[in-house]
Amino acid sequence: MSGQMWVRIIPFIGAAIALIVALIFFLLIKDKSKGSKRMEEISRNIFVGSRAYLNQQTKIMLIFMVVLCILLGIMVKFEYLSLVSIPAFISGMVFSILIGYVGMWVSTTSNAKVTSAAKDKGLGEAMNIAITAASSAGMVLAFGVLLYTAFWFNILFWWYGKSTPDMIQNLSQVVNVSVTFVIGASFAAFFMRTGGGIFTKAADMGADYVGKVESGLKEDDYRNPATIADNVGDNVGDVGGMMADSLESWLGAIVAAELLGFLAFKNLAPVLNSVLLPILISTAGVAASLIAIFVIKLVIREYKENVTVSILTATTLSGLLITVIGIVIFSYFIIRYTMGPEYNFLFYASSGGIVAGFLIGLFTLIYTDSRYRPTRNIMNSAKSGPATYVVNGLAYGMESTILPALTIIGTMIFSFHICQGSSDFTMGLYGVSMAAVGMLATAPFAVTIDVYGPIADNAGGIAEMAEPQYILKIEMR
């Protein structure tokens, strides 16, 4: 088998490994106890509510999809687009919706298991179940992205290659059609992220108003029916919407880099490899994320009840650092093998994006961790009333965007110039796109941590709602 064929097959291998690992993680927690009937009932209600929301949202999206397909059909009629753009657009939407459903299902079927494990076996086992379930969602995302991009590239490359012996013309058609499936994924992600986010905040604030403000109840008190809606919001916004958004962002970065790679290298020998390189870097991100996840799982199993938030945060950052180092190492050999040592500047560009992603994670920690100045100052401002509290929170929220923005700008400038953008503009743009691919290659691990949050939050809510019922029964006896 030729080296070029191996380059085209590797993403499929990565997708298969991601799917197998996702299934193994699912089977590891499949038979875990969901606790009492009350816990199981609450978990079931959260699942039913989340499914009902996503079903209704999907119905609305399908209406828009039909309208947009008609518009695309008109563009095909007048030869502005090729016919294959329509199924590409539809498949992008469908994949994005399915990813959201899978994430919601993983989260809502594992939350009660985390609650039960925390009660019966302690913090270490509870966190292990939560991170295992979240890892399953992260690997499903990796499977979807790798399979989708590799499948469409190879199908289109074969389809156009039958009638177009010229590889440059073939690749030109491939990368242009690829844009339409990103548009489909983006369209669905827009609905799921925005709609889910609005539902999440509305349900959260509504539950707080009626529970804490009007009735003086604790958060997730079983006497407040809005707590179910609050927990539903975590799953449809912070899991389903976030996974659809991550799929769209990752796909968009890959396809943009493919297009720019074609433009930069269309008169050079490694033109095909330049189009495939973004998918290969993403495959490296999946491999590095897997290593980090297994390391994190080994660490958290040993956690005891007295573990501090600082240790939990350090563990998460360690996992992200392992992912970053792994991607940098894998990327070096991938670029050296596929592009040649004369194009090592692409490695520097992608590494710049990877490091920038890690720095943005650190900046986020600084503005959200209770150990640091911003959150402590916001807390202290509450002592003088709600006005200063809101103003301080808003001010720090605005301030928190400065360092990430400067980091992204600096990375773009660095990547553009390290790839000789001053003398070859398209090559400089390709370098910037490779930095974006590198930054998003950490997505499987990042999504794992993101999904872990709502699972753990739901587990705490289930414990709060279920245990008072148990206590009341004991008192009645």
pLDDT attached to residue 3: 64
**For residue 191, which amino acid is it?**
F
Residue 85 · residue 177 · CB < 8 Å: yes
Share of the chain above pLDDT 70, in %: 96
Task: Find the helix packing angle between 271-300 and 425-440, rounded to 10°.
Answer: 20
Of 148, 218, 257, nearest to 465 by C-alpha is 218
Q: Round the CA-based radius of gyration of the chain to a whole number and report it.
A: 24
DSSP 8-state symbol, 218: P
- For the chain, count helices (H), then strands (E): 15, 0
Q: Rounded to the nearest 5 degrees, what angle is found at the Cα of 107, between the Cα atoms of 101 and 110?
A: 135
Q: d(Cα 193, Cα 187) in Å, to the nearest integer?
A: 10
Exposed e or buried b per residue across 450-463, where buried means at least 16 C-beta atoms within 10 angstroms of its C-beta: bbbbbbbbbbbbbb
pLDDT digits (tens, 9 = 90+) for 30-67: 889 898 888 999 999 999 999 999 999 999 999 999 99
Phi, psi dihedral angles at 403 (to 5 degrees): -65, -45
pLDDT digits (tens, 9 = 90+) for 155-204: 999 888 888 778 899 999 999 888 888 999 999 999 998 888 888 888 88
- For the cut 90, the answer to whether the pLDDT of residue 279 exceeds it is yes
Question: CA 72, 77, 78, 81 torsion: positive or negative?
Answer: positive
Residue 33 · residue 113 · CB < 8 Å: yes
List the structure tokens of 220: 């997730």
* 19 exposure class (CB count in 10 Å sphere: 0-12, 13-18, 19+): middle
Q: d(Cα 127, Cα 132) in Å, to the nearest integer?
A: 8
pLDDT digits (tens, 9 = 90+) for 194-247: 888 888 888 888 887 787 777 777 777 777 878 888 889 889 988 999 999 999
pLDDT attached to residue 44: 94
Poorest-confidence range of 60-69, 120-129, 289-298? Answer: 120-129
pLDDT attached to residue 468: 55
pLDDT attached to residue 423: 92
